[in-house]
Chains A and B, each alone.
Chain A
């Protein structure tokens, strides 16, 4: 199946300058395309560069060299605020931990991206409630975020990631803190989203989580070592 490119990296490298002045290459010469509607898993041991790759895919970071395209636009030289706008409109993040704002209700958490997106109050509320219903957690809308279980937090996080109707969901070890049963529930949700056409990229080091995806990209020492479709 041929997908329209959504995110394209061309010979992207990323290095960090360490405290002693040495360059640490986190990613080397990555050329990669994520197509619309794809469900990809990025895998690799810790230190392989998968988090750095996700940050670049998610416009949280820019490459040291090479080009990064989002919907055919070269965003390599975008300003922090331009990148913020892409993150707000086109990318939904789900993290392993610290996903929700503390001291804030579930509803307010889900509404927050829409606040930055300039969406009007009533519509914010309505859309947030719809997403929470979709994630089957509408009954917790008024609960404080710190009162939720791990699985509930991830469902709220997915609801928030979806609320701006982004082009892609980037999930960084979304099941890393969950028990096996809850982890698979969450992955089923994600799989359903992909069936409805949402582009998904999941970062994981667990094979059985990666099997939910249709494409497995394996990294080692900052390079892509395999890229397979199933």
Chain B
């Protein structure tokens, strides 16, 4: 028996009952497109986060107060970090350390020209500016001589909110907590994730932040850059030991501060996103199995309807395996075509969503392979029972079937 003939015959049969064929495929189409869509969007998100975070460089880690993981995201508590801690690390001459930047921030309403909006206010030293590398649109950055002066650098979005588009606000005044600050510059950071963060923030000298705005000596974090990324982990360990000694933490007690590298954060985010993606894609793959049950159901109906046809084929010399192959090919054609349509829809959908959401357009090829393999397997596995049933019909029982 020629498989080409069987294939053509399967196509003709499926086309003759197009509505039923398409409805049967629908489960496979939905399952496959869901798997591809979710896996591709997951891959897009990881690519996006990686791209955004890597702009900050992987030669970088931060210290936050508090012992837990959330401290890295500003949720820590416990013994505060102070400017003295930061100075001590800088003065300790720990090898590989390039810059030590103490940072304090708070959320405050900022007003100018009768516009009043709440922004994140960062207290930075010039070292932090070195790490952030913003583009200066107007004026200049925070410099050493600004220490103690009420000067402010606006992110581009803040500048546009308060002073309008294409306006140079340098020299103008903004008000924070009833105190006037003189604008010395406007900066723009690239990237839309972390960069965008600074575009809608304002920056003041660190000691002004502490004295005038927060009214305490606590730092939110200390950011440290290194010269050699290869030995980042060793440097972090040295800083940890240094701080333990400095903060009198006994052997066996937990740290009351947390060190996080961008490399580490990136790894954590990638792992979490990857796991979530795999989980949801896996759940969608279950819908493929549900689609397979639909295929089996329809193939059983088809075998029942075509019993006399099977009898006729056997009377003209079809062997059991010819009938088996014929029905198996039909179910595989259904699931593979459904899989192909699903892959096409899944790719189109994920590219569309990525474009609209401004994510990198990534198509998950491993999941396409998985979807093709699963849909073919579904066709074989769920087509096998009906096809065996058809092939084992006795010719006379089939011919007599009404």
Contact = CB atoms under 8 A, between A and B. Distances in A.
Contact of B316 (A104, A108, A113): A113
Nearest to A111: B5
Contact of B315 (A60, A104, A108): A60
B320 A87 contact: no
Q: For A108, A112, A118, which residue has the most chain B Cβ atoms within 10 angstroms?
A: A112
A40 B338 CA distance: 53
Interface in A79-109: 80-81, 84-85, 87-89, 93, 95, 98-99, 101-104, 108
A93 B312 CA distance: 9
Contacts of B309: 98, 101-102
Given A93-B316, A103-B13, 10 more contacts: A60-B395, A61-B396, A84-B317, A84-B320, A85-B319, A101-B313, A104-B9, A112-B316, A115-B1, A118-B1
Interface in A37-59: 55, 58
Contacts, number: 67
Interface residues of B, number: 24
B317 A116 contact: yes
Given A103-B16, A115-B1, A58 B315 contact: yes
A48 B2 CA distance: 40
A113 B314 CA distance: 10
Interface in B300-341: 308-309, 312-322
A160 interface: yes
Interface string B1-18: 110010001001100100
A79 B318 CA distance: 13
Contacts of B5: 115
| Majority secondary structure of chain B interface residues (helix, strand, loop or mixed) | helix
A89 B2 CA distance: 17
Contacts of B322: 116
Contacts of B312: 95, 98-99, 101
A85 B308 contact: no
A116 B318 CA distance: 6
A117 interface: yes
Interface in B381-399: 394-396, 399
Interface-central residue, A89, A99, A102, by most chain B CB under 10 Å = A102
Please list the 9 inter-chain residue pairs (A to B) with the smallest Cβ-Cβ separation, ordered nearest first: A88-B317, A103-B16, A116-B317, A113-B316, A84-B319, A60-B395, A81-B319, A93-B315, A115-B5
Contacts of A93: 315-316
A61 B394 CA distance: 8
Contacts of B313: 101, 112
A95 B399 contact: yes
20 contacts: A55-B396, A60-B395, A61-B395, A80-B319, A81-B319, A81-B321, A84-B314, A85-B319, A87-B315, A87-B317, A89-B317, A93-B315, A95-B312, A95-B315, A99-B312, A102-B16, A104-B9, A104-B12, A112-B313, A116-B322
